[in-house]
Structure 1
Amino acid sequence: MLSLFNSKRRKAAIALVKAAKARGMSAEDYAKTLSPEELAQYVPQDDKPKVEMPDVALWGLPPDKEVTAAKFVADARVAEAVTAYRAGDWQPGAALLTELGTDWDRRAFAVQQLGDAAADDDAPLKEWQASGSADAAAVNAQGLVALAWQIRSGLTPEHVSEEQWAGFFRVLEDAEAATQAAIEAAPDDPTPWCTMLTVARGRQYGNDDFRAVWAELVARDPLHRPAHEQALQYWCAKWFGSHEQMFAFADEALDKAPKLAGLALVAAHEAEDKGVAAWKSDRTKLALDVVRPWLDGEGRDHPANLRDRAYAAKALVANDRCDEAVEQFKVLGVHADALVWAYTGRPEREFLKTRYLACYGATRP
């Protein structure tokens, strides 16, 4: 650590300790996560930082330079359908949705991915809609929601311009009508109701109105994972709930099924982002004990697998379970596209810092 024999170094050390404390870390551990350039701001210019980064290759992990936040779709069938759509061919997407049938989680994931593509280019979608397909109606609704969020951007509310807000609400109004049309086209399908949950959050539905949409969704699929993710966001303090409501929803989900246990990890991250300690809570530890076996078993091919692994890696490091965290990073490989890494605005860096901490605390291979 820094020597404190002069005021210049003492002030630098205090600044480093404060920055580490804000992140729930010791100064030593925090210093290990910083690049030489970042550490330099805490070290007087006449000092040379001595921070040795771990060789992640010792744990079979890919080099730092290969890590990317580029969007990654692990399901090859979905990825191929989206690639075809972006090339102007909607038919592989249509065939995939027909094939998925009532695999509701995977169907919702495929519709979301195709909707994202449709938000960028709706020409293939218009051809698809001309066939009278209910699946095309679902993709259209999701595409309009994606377009609305593109207009709004991912900025915090105070940084969204009036013009962006106006465009956001205008497109969401169209999305609401399109979602209702998709519901009417396929009354038994929970997918449009999942889309409606996002519409409800964007259009600022009150709690009772949101619960009415939720009731329609769970009547069709009580364990719908993508819908639970959307609902958790609604109950966050940053939207229309509170920490208490968010945690209550996550607890209820955890009791329902292992595939919903990851929501408790998302809730912990949301709380930590607002300065509320949650990573080391009994709730988080229980969720980790439930979600880890699910990830390696029944949930191995679930669309939420990599997302849950990313949150689990973060939580495991926070709980000093670094060997287990390294195992999650082995599966994540180079992919730093999960939302948990993006809150700092530098996802690759957040991924690498957490990976470094995991390796520092892990048993040497």
Structure 2
Amino acid sequence: MSLFSNRGRRPRLAPELDDADLGKLLKRLTSNTRSSTPGTTDLCVAQIARFLEQNPGDFDLRAHRVSVLAGFLSESNLPAAWVQRDPSNASALVLHSWSAVERGRAAGRLTDASSVWERCQLVAELDPRDPTPWVVMLSVARLERYPTSDVFATWNEIVTRDRWHREAYLGMLEYLSPQESGSIAQVVDFVDSVRGRMPSNAPCAAVELAAHVMQYHAAVSRGGAQALLARNHWNTPQAADLLERARTTWPQRTFFSHAAALADLNLLAYALTAANRRRQAAPLFTAIGGSVTSWPWRFEGDPLAAFESAHHKAR
């Protein structure tokens, strides 16, 4: 990760964040898929395969790259074509499965959850160290409303392999929220259970702030007096202390090293703006450069417009 590398660029939605190699691959895939040249599918599959062979053992980077590719290719036949060509390739199987999950999220349910689950189990057998197939299975369990015991069993498989896996913690936070299968009390208990033992610069460091943003959004969404008073949430001692700690440490060049750090900086810039601490958000916008994430900015409408408005106010 190279914070500050995007300084001065025009803001754009950048799911790859500051992963320059991933950004280049997405551009190549876009260019190649627009072509009707024979062999295009083989070319694209070969490019994806070579790319995902890089950095073996870096499961944080792998999760980021597979998740971005899965979203990018969710309506494409490339993941399925890769599995047909190489049915025992772990990367092909997990990308195909994560792409199916992305389609399922858009539709509200999976068309064939059992097949996705079976493919992920095969990936887990091919590389028992890799938490990525279990991350996909956690999404399947949530989408299909599997029993809570199955959800937590899958969660345990992930954290056994990667103690502070970002995607896993954020996934469980959503699962435990009132919007999905839990309650505010369960969210608070979950955050409290990890706050004291989680390293301050862990890949999942933003889970506590994400919980506060979710509570803020819930208050605004209820409308009426609660929406008018929602900003007061950021004045509570716990939220104010969190913002103060995060704003002084997160933008430092060497503080974070995980692949999705820029997404966490987007979250913090949004929270500081919502808390009316706009000047304090200025260093965050410098660090973010032009790499905008859809969430949480989309809560305000068009995410790019919301980001640019907040950036202007910070200046």
Query: Where on the TM-score scale, by shorter chain, does this alignment land: which range?
Result: 0.7 to 0.9
SS in 1 for 2:188: helix
SS in 2 for 1:187: coil
From 236, 239, 242, the counterpart of 1:287: 242
Map 1:188-199; keep pairs closer than 5 Å. 188-199=129-140
- Give the Cα separation in 2 of the matches to 1:171 and 1:282: 46
* Structure 1 residues 133 and 83: alpha-carbon distance in aligned structure 2, compared to 1, 3 A threshold: farther
Aligned residues: 282
Alignment-derived partner of residue 230 in structure 1:
171
TM-score scaled by length of structure 1: 0.69
Task: Note if 1:204 corresponds to 2:159.
Answer: no
* Structure 1 residues 247 and 278: alpha-carbon distance in aligned structure 2, compared to 1, 3 A threshold: farther
From 76, 90, 93, the counterpart of 1:137: 93
1:222-275 residue CA offsets vs partner (Å, 9 max, x unmatched): 111121111111111100111121122233333312223311111111101111
Give the fraction of aligned pairs with identical amino acids, expressed as a percent: 25
Alignment-derived partner of residue 122 in structure 2:
181
Task: Note if 1:79 corresponds to 2:23.
Answer: yes
Gaps of 5+ in 2: 1-6, 33-40, 220-229
1:143-177 residue CA offsets vs partner (Å, 9 max, x unmatched): 1111212334xxxxxxxxxxxxxxx3324443233
Range moving further from structure 2, 187-196 or 350-359: 350-359
Alignment-derived partner of residue 69 in structure 2:
114
From 49, 52, 57, the counterpart of 1:97: 52
Maintained 8 Å contact 2:79/2:95: no
* Structure 1 residues 305 and 295: alpha-carbon distance in aligned structure 2, compared to 1, 3 A threshold: farther
Task: Note if 1:272 corresponds to 2:216.
Answer: yes
Alignment-derived partner of residue 41 in structure 1:
none
Task: Note if 1:322 corresponds to 2:263.
Answer: no
- Give the Cα separation in 2 of the matches to 1:190 and 1:235: 21
Report the structure number with the largest CA radius of gyration: 1
Gaps of 5+ in 1: 1-60, 153-167, 360-365
C-alpha RMSD over aligned residues: 2.7
Q: Please report how far the alpha carbon of residue 309 of structure 1 lies from its aligned counterpart in structure 2 after TM superposition.
A: 1.1
Task: Note if 1:263 corresponds to 2:207.
Answer: yes
- Give the Cα separation in 2 of the matches to 1:280 and 1:335: 28
- Give the Cα separation in 2 of the matches to 1:84 and 1:128: 20
* Structure 1 residues 221 and 72: alpha-carbon distance in aligned structure 2, compared to 1, 3 A threshold: closer
Range moving further from structure 2, 244-253 or 289-298: 289-298
SS in 2 for 1:170: coil
1:311-348 residue CA offsets vs partner (Å, 9 max, x unmatched): 21122234454332011112223444330101233223
* Structure 1 residues 223 and 111: alpha-carbon distance in aligned structure 2, compared to 1, 3 A threshold: same
From 342, 352, 357, the counterpart of 2:298: 342
Q: Which one has more relative contact order, counting CA pairs under 8 Å at least 6 apart?
A: 2
Aligned residue identity for 2:23? A
Task: Note if 1:296 corresponds to 2:240.
Answer: no
Aligned residue identity for 1:264? E
* Structure 1 residues 99 and 327: alpha-carbon distance in aligned structure 2, compared to 1, 3 A threshold: same
Q: Please report how far the alpha carbon of residue 124 of structure 1 lies from its aligned counterpart in structure 2 after TM superposition.
A: 5.7
Maintained 8 Å contact 1:310/1:338: no
From 348, 352, 358, the counterpart of 2:308: 352
Maintained 8 Å contact 2:15/2:68: no
